[in-house]
Amino acid sequence: SPAWPGIVNAYADRIAVPAGAKVITLGEGGTPLVEAPHLSELTGSRVLLKVEGANPTGSFKDRGMTVAMTYALAEGSKAVICASTGNTSASAAAYAARAGLTCAVLVPRGKIALGKLAQAVVHGAKILQVDGNFDDCLELARKTAADHPVALVNSVNPVRLEGQKSAAFEICDVLGRAPDVHCLPVGNAGNITAYWRGYREYATDGVLPAAPRMFGFQAAGAAPLVRGEPVTHPETIATAIRIGSPASWTGAIKARDESGGLIDAVADEQILDAYRLLAGREGVFVEPASAAGVAGLLAVAQDGRLPAGSVVVCTVTGHGLKDPDTALLAMHEVEPVPVDAGAVAAALGLT
């Protein structure tokens, strides 16, 4: 059978691209939906992980980028630009390289994970490290795209979300139903908006009888949607969601309210606990932001907001290798051992 064709071709009837366009794809989507036995036991529900770190550049951003880059090329753009906390820039850099377009990325200086910066470097993007946060970067990217002939590939570009909604289709297609609850981290709020669009589309078209309740989780130090107002100085160890003024604010609130869901905050310590649990008990290595949805799941299971026996999907949005610094900080020390079989056995507690 042929290779997985990427989300534009897999869902050609649901994701529009310009007529005759050359589709720019790296085979994104088709990611694993993995049972999470330990989380299931802890929560009294059936929990599955949608492992988006398995995408070509290691995050869910690739689902939107294939569509955005296909449009940019078809419309004759020579260059693309984006603001990013790291994953969007990594994805844009890779897909632009594939399309033969110039790519410029604006990132908050010192606040993006090492692996993501490495990706932008190897794919040849022009990297602008801005002395500010993501919200400053996005404002600069929007202004530059408004005044110059470059295509903006942030999720404020509506075709990005059209691509990202494909993850909801995949979950339903694999499960044969919609989950009862969908948990995910929320930063700029594009992804929760896109998932809700996908679930609603399947429900409206009668593919499925129901859509899930959307449970979004922000980091406590960067939780504008929970507080109800922008946060001027967002702070969290989960740099991917260190955002104070989400672009898809209304989309997130609609997803919450139309689905009967919630958007809540989780502390950095909760995020790191979930991060360690995912890696140490489920065998799934994610970046810190990705663990926010699981931290939220554990909280709502404990305080009763999650009905027992639910079918829950948590999107884990990005690969753990993106952020080796946090992994090495959060995990135990690795001790040196001499070349000596006795010492190895002793170090392992076998003697």
The structure tokens listed for 207 are 């593919």
CB of 73 to ligand F0G, least distance (A): 21
Q: Which of 163, 198, 244, 318 binds ligand F0G (CB under 6 A)?
A: 318
Minimum CB distance to ligand F0G smaller for 240 or for 266 = 240
Site residue total, ligand F0G (CB under 6 A): 22
Query: Residue 255 Cβ, how far from ligand F0G at the closest point, in Å?
Result: 11
Question: Residue from 31, 43, 57, 85 that binds ligand F0G (CB under 6 A)?
Answer: 85
Q: How far is the CB of 344 from ligand F0G (least distance, A)?
A: 37
Mask: binding to ligand F0G, 89-128, rule CB under 6 A, as x and -? ----------------------------------------
Burial bucket for residue 32 (CB in 10 Å: 0-12, 13-18, 19+): middle
Long-range contacts of 174-177 (CB under 8 A, 24+ apart): 174/33, 175/33, 175/48, 175/311, 175/313, 177/208, 177/209, 177/210, 177/311
185 scored as a contact of ligand F0G (CB under 6 A):
yes
DSSP-derived 3-state class of residue 326: helix
The token pair at 220 is 């406590």
> Which of 311, 315, 310 has the alpha carbon at shortest distance from 294?
315
As a whole number of Å, the CA-based R_g of the chain is: 20
Q: Is residue 190 a contact residue for ligand F0G (CB under 6 A)?
A: yes
The DSSP string of 54-75 is GSTTSBTHHHHHHHHHHHHHHT
Pick one of 25, 31, 88, 166: the residue that binds ligand F0G (CB under 6 A).
88
C-alpha distances (whole Å) from 122 to each of 59, 90, 118, 125, 324 are: 17, 9, 6, 8, 17
Q: Which of the residues 222 through 241 are near ligand F0G (CB under 6 A)?
A: 240-241
Q: Which is nearer to ligand F0G, 290 or 310 (CB)?
A: 290
Residue whose CB is less far from ligand F0G, 46 or 231:
231
Element (H or E) spanning 215, and its range? strand 213-219
Which C-beta is closer to ligand F0G: that of 46 or that of 265? 265
Least Cα distance to 12 among 194, 166, 211, 157 occurs for 166
Site for ligand F0G in 65-84 (CB under 6 A): 84
Least distance (Å) between residue 348 CB and ligand F0G: 35
* Distance in Å, CB of 59 to ligand F0G, minimum: 5
Q: Which stretch binds ligand F0G (CB under 6 A): 66-74, 262-270, 282-290, 332-340?
A: 282-290
Cα distance from N-terminal residue to C-terminal residue, the chain: 52
129-158 mask for ligand F0G (x: CB under 6 A)? Answer: --------------------------x---
Binder among 115, 187, 198, 212 for ligand F0G (CB under 6 A): 187
Q: Least separation, in Å, of the C-beta of 96 and ligand F0G?
A: 15
C-beta of 25 vs 85, nearer to ligand F0G: 85
Beta bridge partners of 261: none
How many C-beta atoms lie closer than 10 Å to residue 257's C-beta? 12
- Interacting residues with ligand F0G between 238 and 257 (CB under 6 A): 240-241
**What CA–CA distance (Å, rounded) separates 34 from 257?**
28
User: Between 77 and 290, whose beta carbon lies closer to ligand F0G?
Assistant: 290
Q: Which residues sit at the interface with ligand F0G, rule CB under 6 A?
A: 59, 61, 84-88, 155, 185-191, 240-241, 287, 289-290, 317-318
